[in-house]
A and B are shown apart, each in its own frame.
Chain A
Amino acid sequence: DADVTQTPRNRITKTGKRIMLECSQTKGHDRMYWYRQDPGLGLQLIYYSFDVKDINKGEISDGYSVSRQAQAKFSLSLESAIPNQTALYFCATSEVTGELFFGEGSRLTVL
C-alpha cells in the first residue's frame, strides 16, 4: 500500500459543483500539504498543516479550503469549482524540514 493515498485519482465535474479531494498517510508525519501542478508552472502550494490544530494558507489558497480531520488525514475542498481549477493536485507529507513524500495525484477536470 502507498504511504500517501489520494482519492479520487480522477474526477470530472461541472462548474459550480463542490468537490472534495481526500488524502491519508501512513508515514506518521505531522506536516501535510496540498499542491497544484499545472504544465510549465511547477508545483504551487495551496495549503499546509503542521498538526491537527494548525492550518495555513499557501501561495494560491483562493477558491480552496482544507480540513485536517486527524494526523493522518488532510482533505482539500473546492466549494464552487471553476474551469481554471482544472489541474493535477498532489498531497504530500514531510518531517520538519525534510523531503516531501507525495501521493499519486488527483486529476481534476472542471467543465
Chain B
Amino acid sequence: AQSVAQPEDQVNVAEGNPLTVKCTYSVSGNPYLFWYVQYPNRGLQFLLKYITGDNLVKGSYGFEAEFNKSQTSFHLKKPSALVSDSALYFCAVRDIPFNDYKLSFGAGTTVTVRA
C-alpha cells in the first residue's frame, strides 16, 4: 500500500530564512512524487514532481525538492522564504505500477512566514 507522511503540522520561519517542509513516503513499486500548495479558499496548485532522473527537482515560485530513495523522503525547500509563501502544502505519491490511478496525499503542513 502507498502512503505519505508529513511529520510537521506547522512550520514557522522568518522571511528571508530557508524553508523546509518534510515528506516521507511508502510504496511497493516506484514512486512518482508531487508537491502542491493551497492558498486560502483556493484549489491545490501543482509545484513540482519527481518521476525519474535527477534527484533534485526544481519547480514553481523558487521551490525545489530532493528525492532521497534510501530515506524514502521528498522534502520541499526554498532558500529564502517570502511572506507570500504562507499556505498549506501537500505532498503526494503514486505507486507505479501498482496504483497508477491513485494519488495519495499527506495531511498537509501549514507554513507561516513572518515578516
Binding site for B on A (CB under 8 A): 4, 31, 40-43, 45, 48, 50, 56, 58, 90, 94, 96-105
Contact = CB atoms under 8 A, between A and B. Distances in A.
B100 interface: yes
Interface string B33-46: 01010000111111
B103 interface: yes
A94 to B, nearest CB: 8
B100 A96 contact: yes
B69 interface: no
Contacts of A99: 34, 46, 49
B20 to A, nearest CB: 19
Number of chain B interface residues as a range: 20 to 34
17 contacts: A31-B101, A40-B9, A41-B107, A42-B4, A42-B105, A42-B107, A42-B108, A48-B102, A97-B100, A98-B49, A100-B36, A100-B44, A100-B46, A102-B43, A102-B45, A104-B43, A105-B41
A8 to B, nearest CB: 14
Q: SS class of chain B's interface: helix, strand, loop or mixed?
A: strand
B87 interface: no
Contact of B90 (A42, A58, A101): A42
Contact of B32 (A50, A90, A97, A104): A97
B94 interface: yes
A48 B101 contact: yes
A42 B9 CA distance: 11
B101 A42 contact: no
A94 B106 CA distance: 19
B11 interface: no
